[in-house]
Chains A and B, each alone.
Chain A
Amino acid sequence: MSRRIRESLPLLPFFALVTIFLIVPTATVIVSAFFVDGVFSLARIAALFSDTALSALWKSVLLSASTAIIGAVLGAVLAWLIVSSAPTSVLRRAVISLCSVLAQFGGVALAFAFLATIGLNGVLTLWVQEHFGWNLAGSGWLYSLTGLILVYTYFQIPLMVIVFVPALEGLREQWREAAVSLGASTFQYWRQVAVPLLTPAFLGSFLLLFANAFAAYATAAALVSQGSPILPLLIRAALTSEVVLGQSGFAYALALEMIVIVAAVMIAYNALVRRTARWLQ
Chain B
Amino acid sequence: MKKTRLLGFTAAAVLVAGIAGCAPPEKKSEGGQTESGGNASEATSAEDFGGMDALVEAAKKEGQLNVIALPPDWANYGAIIKAFGDKYGIKVNSAQPDAASQDEINAATQQKGKSTAPDVFDLGQSVALANTAMFAPYKVATFDSIPQAYKDADGKWVNDYGGYMSIGFDSAKVPPVADVNDLLKPEYNGKVALNGDPTQAGAAFSGVLMVALSQGGSVDDIAPGVEFFRKLKAAGNFLPVDPTPATIESGQTPVVIDWNYLNAAETAKLPSWRVFVPSNAAVAGYYYQAINAGAPHPAAARLWQEFLYSDEGQNLYAAGGVRPVRADQMMQAGSIDKAAVDKIPVIDGPVTVPTPDQTEKATKYLADNWAKAIG
A243 touches B202 (CB 8 A): yes
B135 CB → nearest A CB, Å = 16
Does A25 reach chain B (CB closer than 8 Å)?
no
B375 touches A229 (CB 8 A): yes
Q: Which residue of B lies closest to A224 (CB)?
A: B240
List the interface of chain A (C-beta within 8 A of B). 50-52, 55-56, 119-121, 135, 137-140, 143-144, 224-229, 237, 239-246
Given A226-B194, A244-B200, 10 new contacts (CB under 8 A): A52-B372, A56-B371, A120-B190, A137-B190, A139-B189, A139-B236, A229-B375, A240-B102, A241-B100, A242-B200
A120 touches B252 (CB 8 A): yes
Does B239 reach chain A (CB closer than 8 Å)?
yes
A225-B253 Cα distance, complex, nearest whole Å: 14
Q: What 4 A-B pairs come out closest when comparing CB atoms?
A: A225-B242, A242-B101, A139-B190, A226-B240
A237 touches B199 (CB 8 A): yes
How many residue pairs link A and B with beta carbons under 8 A? The number is 109
- Contacting residues, chain B, for A237 (C-beta < 8 A): 197, 199-200
A-B contact pairs, 12 of them (CB 8 A): A52-B371, A121-B251, A121-B252, A135-B190, A228-B199, A229-B371, A240-B102, A242-B100, A242-B123, A242-B124, A244-B367, A245-B102
- Contacting residues, chain B, for A226 (C-beta < 8 A): 194, 197, 240-242, 374
Q: A121-B250, A243-B363 are in contact. Are A227 and B124 (CB under 8 A)?
A: no
A110 CB → nearest B CB, Å = 17
B190 touches A140 (CB 8 A): yes
B173 CB → nearest A CB, Å = 12
B85 CB → nearest A CB, Å = 27
A154 CB → nearest B CB, Å = 20
B152 CB → nearest A CB, Å = 18
A137-B241 Cα distance, complex, nearest whole Å: 12
Does B220 reach chain A (CB closer than 8 Å)?
no
B240 touches A243 (CB 8 A): no
A244-B370 Cα distance, complex, nearest whole Å: 12
A242 touches B375 (CB 8 A): no
B372 touches A51 (CB 8 A): yes
A234-B101 Cα distance, complex, nearest whole Å: 18
- Contacting residues, chain B, for A228 (C-beta < 8 A): 197, 199-200, 371
A55 touches B239 (CB 8 A): no
- Contacting residues, chain B, for A225 (C-beta < 8 A): 196-197, 240-242
A144-B242 Cα distance, complex, nearest whole Å: 12
A63-B258 Cα distance, complex, nearest whole Å: 31
B231 CB → nearest A CB, Å = 13
A225-B240 Cα distance, complex, nearest whole Å: 6
B126 touches A242 (CB 8 A): yes
Q: A52-B371, A242-B126, A244-B366 are in contact. Are A139 and B239 (CB under 8 A)?
A: yes
Most chain B beta-carbon neighbours within 10 Å: one of A119, A138, A227: A227
Q: Which of B100, B101, B239, B240 contacts A227 (CB 8 A)?
A: B240
A50-B103 Cα distance, complex, nearest whole Å: 25
B241 touches A243 (CB 8 A): no
Q: Which of A51, A135, A229, A245 contacts B127 (CB 8 A)?
A: A245
A140 touches B363 (CB 8 A): no
- Contacting residues, chain A, for B372 (C-beta < 8 A): 51-52, 55
B190 touches A243 (CB 8 A): no
